[in-house]
Structure 1
Amino acid sequence: MKDRQCLYFGIFQLIMWAGVANGEFYSSVDSMHELAQVEEELLNATRSYLESQQKQLDFYRRYVEQLKREHEWATTQSKLDEYLGHPLHAFRLIKRLVQDWDALILEPIVDNDAREEFSAHVEALGTVFGYPDQSELQGAVKGLARLQAVYNLTASHLADGVINGVSYGSDLRWRECYEIGVQLFDLGEYQRSLEWLQVAVMLLQNSPEKEEDVEHYLSDIREYASMANFELGNPKKAGILLNQILESQPTHSAQQTRKYLESRALGKIDQETNPTWLANYTMLCQGRRLPEERSADPLKCYLDGKRHAYFTLAPLQVEPVHLDPDINVYHGMLSANQILSILDEAEKMQMFRSAVSGNGGNSTVKDLRVSQQTWLDYKSAVMKSVGRINELVSGFDMAGAEYMQVANYGVGGQYEPHPDYFGVNLPVEFKGDRISTSMFYLSDVEQGGYTVFPKLNVFLPPVSGALVMWHNLHRSLDVDARTLHAGCPVIVGSKRIGNIWVHSGYQEFRRPCHLTSDSYKSAGYQN
């Protein structure tokens, strides 16, 4: 479009010049000479325009072919769900839809009938499906930063597509690393931003593809790196980087950046106070337990066919993982077909961003919980079966149960340590607090996504079809603070779970209290 505007402007100027100088063309050969000059300039301008358009078309063709190969690879060599479960693939997909398609294709494409049809199609797709926006891109970048923080992953390894020693063949280009660095800077993650900017410089300098105007790109990266250093309390390093830019490019915007930084007082770096659970949380998420004295015998798996007659012929496969409070994993509770039916029902419902419950049941969206969810009642055949299973295993009356919450965790999806009970200010519709949690794993997760209990030194990898169950309240109905738990960030894969919370209001005869309160036993764990 810009080339065409330049062409039209050039033609207009030439015609105006010829007309003003000579008035008529046909009445004088000399004027025809001048008109021939106009045509020659028109031909040259048209040739340049067509050449530039051909370059654009070649670029579009290469870009589309590249994406086509990636989509074919995702759908033929791998399952699409596994492909989208990889955090780098997810980031690149969101980045393309937020930035690349608009900047590289939609804006510069030729304005003609084909473009009008193309634009109408793009607009229709946006109306039907919607497009991610800048906040979506920031969300994906936050997910990558979260993975780095919890799992001690370096920017260089992530850029190479290597996660915990496993290579996924999905390396990032320097532009993508630069974009991650910029987004992290905007989010105030200055140290993490520097890591990605440094990787971008390394990839740009060692790129096998010859980039035009490499120095210009390096200067842009260094300018952001200088600002990140300044924010981290290192103005000397910031000045060195700006000087490196201005030595070769005296008119670069780094001049304004230097003036801006010089006008600012060096801020005091805030020392964030980490929550008490953080160290245990990150270690458990990495699959490492804290050292502890084990005086009791190790827990062993067993078969339980006596809990209910329903399990006589097919006993429960019980894996006890903690005693007092009891946390048990029941394997093989849901078949692959049952899981598929549950996920099909969830897909028909409107999935929405998970929120964090507050006083009185009010909920807000926060980064400490990154997932999407929906709720399923127990009317369908498969959900009746799920409700029946939960009642028989837990021993609780399902009249006091909430609908099953089906949740899906995507890029860096997590739920930081939290209790499932409310304690005070119960929602008005609740009949008692959440006495128990039943968490059905509806998928395996290739890497990450553990369920951890930071106060109990327990981590559980998701196993499709398994059920994890624990009590959130003592028999006295006092809250059990030891049950603080979390869903670790998903590194690679897609985590799907189904939660059922049962309320205490209907369970007086299912789990009666003792003559003396049992909550004092856990006093040492209360915070």
Structure 2
Amino acid sequence: MLSLLFACIAFIFHSHGMEYFSATSDLSRAVEVGEQLATEIGAYIELEENRLNRLRKVAERLSTQKLRPSPNTDPEEYYGNPVTAYLAVRQLTHNRRDELLRLLEGYSDQFEDSGDGSLAADLHRLAAARSRAEQRANMLPGDADLSGAADGLLLLQNTYKMQAENLANGIILGNLTGPTLSAAQCLHLGQRAYELADFVRAEEWFRAAYTRLRKEQEEERSAQEGGRGKRSSGDEPSKPTVSSDVQPTSVQILDYLAYALGRQRRYAEALNITKILLEEDPLDSRNRENAEFYRTRIEMGEGIIGPAPKPTTLSKFEEETQIYQALCRGEQVFPPPPVNSVYCHHTVPHPYYLIGPVKEEILFPDPKMVMWHDAIHPNEIRRIQELASPKFRRATVKNPVTGVLENAFYRTSKTAWLPDSMDEVTHRMNQRITALTGLNMETAEDLQVSNYGIGGYYAPHFDFGRKREKDIFEKRNGNRIATIIFYMTEPKLGGSTAFNRLGAVVPPLRGSAGFWYNLMPSGEGDLRTRHVACPVLFGSKWVLNVWFHERGQEFIRPCELEQGPIEEDDGF
């Protein structure tokens, strides 16, 4: 940068062409020009320092040292904390690419070289640094990632019945803790809940934001007064708060809170908060109109006091959501199967297991669901993760109308497909799956590896194609007759596979594999196998799936003499 500055000075002097050396009368003018130039250089330096200070702040915010795990902590487990993951995404997303690039454009390549090559070298280094920064800026999380991280946290809060105030204070569930959230971060989560029309959850977060703001302001006052109000040495240390956000005002938070209450038809409460806002600014036309709207509704006898009562009737989708969320929380929703029908034993499904029988657990008798323990080994898990990671893409679902694969908000994970021939481990896994299930792998799909993100889940679904769907399976190898799922990691909380029409739950135990048939022996879809991948609350979830198809299984799982139940259109 010094070379650039000297080039500017040389340019200014030479452009005047005054030849001061030839007449003493012009020296006073030269001194005056020098003083003016010194002033201009000072102004330039001040602007440049401001730009560099802003750039330093961006670099400081981008640094995730406060959110990095300790050297002995597994990064996946560390970022498996949903609050930590949300904060990491927010911290990286909050620094806009355009802002960064504008700050990096504090130089020009229009100057001629000063003769020794130093200017050209500086320009080359600056251009290279800017190019590298631009490439990395494009790799940072975007607004969609931030919305997805917030959505994941809100989903976890809803599924596992967590209070916003607890999450803001770093209490996740039980003895699991995480970083605390700032007022700005609570406000953002409330805004996202509002955008999703979840006004009850939005209210929670706006109230948490207001509480956090008052606490932050009190801490700032204490610090300004010379440290009064600090904790004694015997108190517990505070949980870390990571925030690079601009602190909101109480007016901003209360404004959102009033809207959230109004959308719940809690007009009296919304009016009280709007009155507080009008005390701050009596001439605010929007708040005056809102206050009048709330008064009119109250005079008409509309609205409610306090949270809305639970609805007496639910849609089938709302009822299904309540059931699967309860199962994901570990609640007993259905009567358990007979005790003698669920048990553990050793079995030999293939001669390969004569020496070391398989540890089989019957999870549910009808339809039969089993779990095989120690079905995949740690070294195989590591290798499969290595193979899958570079191939990961956002998981898709098949549109039942068009048959096109597309992203969906109700399936949040990344997947990769690994063919049999890809590696010795993938070939070995296919052989083992054949030995465990006895099914023909010739028409089975490739190994699918999935890794779930923040609050990652897959809403209730069938693995088989419905009759009314535009089903590509029928054109090739038939429908998906069976599913096997290997759990390669074990989340601390969440991540089970729950069958919401049976009450059966397959726990995500590391190294285990769950197996069930999706079709009746007749080939009709078994509607009882509708299931959900429960949201991952804490930890990392990696699974490996294989779906078997009908072709090739005719003599392995033949039709029965009686047809059995017919698949009905249940609207799902």
Alignment TM-score > 0.5, same fold = yes
Q: 5 Å matches for 1:188-203?
A: 188-203=197-212
Cα separation, partners in 2 of 1:310 and 1:95, compared to 1, 3 Å: same
The match for 2:286 is: 256
Is 1:181–1:196's contact at 8 Å kept on the other side of the alignment? yes
Deviation at 1:481, TM superposition (A): 0.7
Secondary structure, counterpart of 2:131 in structure 1 = helix
The match for 1:206 is: 215
The match for 1:406 is: 449
The match for 1:125 is: 136
Match for residue 351 of structure 1 among 382, 393, 414: 393
Match for residue 488 of structure 1 among 519, 527, 534: 534
Is 2:97–2:137's contact at 8 Å kept on the other side of the alignment? no
Deviation at 1:248, TM superposition (A): 2.6
The match for 1:96 is: 91
Q: Distance in 1 between matches of 2:80 and 2:400?
A: 30
Deviation at 1:168, TM superposition (A): 2.7
The match for 1:333 is: 375
Q: 5 Å matches for 1:385-396?
A: 385-396=428-439
Deviation at 1:117, TM superposition (A): 6.2
1:41-94 CA-partner distances (Å, limit 9, x unpaired): 989988986996797578568646x732432xx141421111222211221122
- 1:368 aligned partner, one-letter code: Y
User: Size of the alignment, in residue pairs?
Assistant: 486
Deviation at 1:261, TM superposition (A): 7.9
Q: TM-score, normalised by structure 1?
A: 0.81
Secondary structure, counterpart of 2:417 in structure 1 = strand
Q: Distance in 2 between matches of 1:229 and 1:115?
A: 52
The match for 1:8 is: none
Deviation at 1:185, TM superposition (A): 2.0
The match for 1:477 is: 523
Q: TM-score, normalised by structure 2?
A: 0.75
Matched, 1:453 2:506: no
Matched, 1:281 2:308: no
The match for 1:178 is: 187
Deviation at 1:519, TM superposition (A): 3.1
Cα separation, partners in 2 of 1:50 and 1:416, compared to 1, 3 Å: closer
1:334-375 CA-partner distances (Å, limit 9, x unpaired): 111111111111123242333345257422322111111121
Q: 5 Å matches for 1:306-345?
A: 307-345=349-387
Secondary structure, counterpart of 2:542 in structure 1 = strand
The match for 1:20 is: none
The match for 1:9 is: none
- 2:257 aligned partner, one-letter code: A
Matched, 1:68 2:114: no
Q: Distance in 2 between matches of 1:526 and 1:358?
A: 12
Deviation at 1:309, TM superposition (A): 0.6
Secondary structure, counterpart of 1:76 in structure 2 = coil
Cα separation, partners in 2 of 1:257 and 1:402, compared to 1, 3 Å: farther
Q: Distance in 2 between matches of 1:402 and 1:39?
A: 74
The match for 1:222 is: 254
Deviation at 1:317, TM superposition (A): 0.5
Is 1:141–1:183's contact at 8 Å kept on the other side of the alignment? yes
Deviates more, 1:509-518 or 1:140-149: 509-518
Q: Distance in 2 between matches of 1:222 and 1:409?
A: 35
Q: Distance in 1 between matches of 2:488 and 2:158?
A: 26
Deviation at 1:184, TM superposition (A): 2.1
Q: Distance in 1 between matches of 2:377 and 2:520?
A: 32
The match for 1:238 is: 270
Q: Distance in 2 between matches of 1:257 and 1:385?
A: 68
Deviation at 1:446, TM superposition (A): 1.5
1:238-271 CA-partner distances (Å, limit 9, x unpaired): 33323322323456xx543554786899899998
Match for residue 426 of structure 2 among 336, 360, 383: 383
Is 1:441–1:463's contact at 8 Å kept on the other side of the alignment? yes
Cα separation, partners in 2 of 1:275 and 1:91, compared to 1, 3 Å: same
Structure 1 residue ranges without an equivalent (≥5):
1-25, 28-34
Matched, 1:418 2:429: no
Q: Distance in 2 between matches of 1:505 and 1:104?
A: 57
Q: Distance in 2 between matches of 1:167 and 1:403?
A: 37
Secondary structure, counterpart of 1:506 in structure 2 = coil
1:421-456 CA-partner distances (Å, limit 9, x unpaired): 113243054321111001111211121111101111
Q: Distance in 2 between matches of 1:107 and 1:95?
A: 21
- 1:177 aligned partner, one-letter code: C
- 2:368 aligned partner, one-letter code: D
- 2:324 aligned partner, one-letter code: Y
Q: Distance in 2 between matches of 1:200 and 1:506?
A: 59
Cα separation, partners in 2 of 1:91 and 1:118, compared to 1, 3 Å: farther
Q: Distance in 1 between matches of 2:478 and 2:443?
A: 9
User: Percent same amino acid among aligned pairs?
Assistant: 25
Secondary structure, counterpart of 2:153 in structure 1 = helix
- 2:262 aligned partner, one-letter code: F
Q: 5 Å matches for 1:74-93?
A: 74-93=69-88
Q: Distance in 2 between matches of 1:150 and 1:349?
A: 30
- 2:132 aligned partner, one-letter code: H
Cα separation, partners in 2 of 1:107 and 1:39, compared to 1, 3 Å: closer
Match for residue 333 of structure 2 among 283, 290, 296: 290
The match for 1:143 is: 152
CA-atom RMSD in angstroms: 3.8
Q: Distance in 2 between matches of 1:386 and 1:358?
A: 31
Secondary structure, counterpart of 1:277 in structure 2 = helix
Is 2:358–2:373's contact at 8 Å kept on the other side of the alignment? yes
Q: Distance in 1 between matches of 2:201 and 2:407?
A: 24
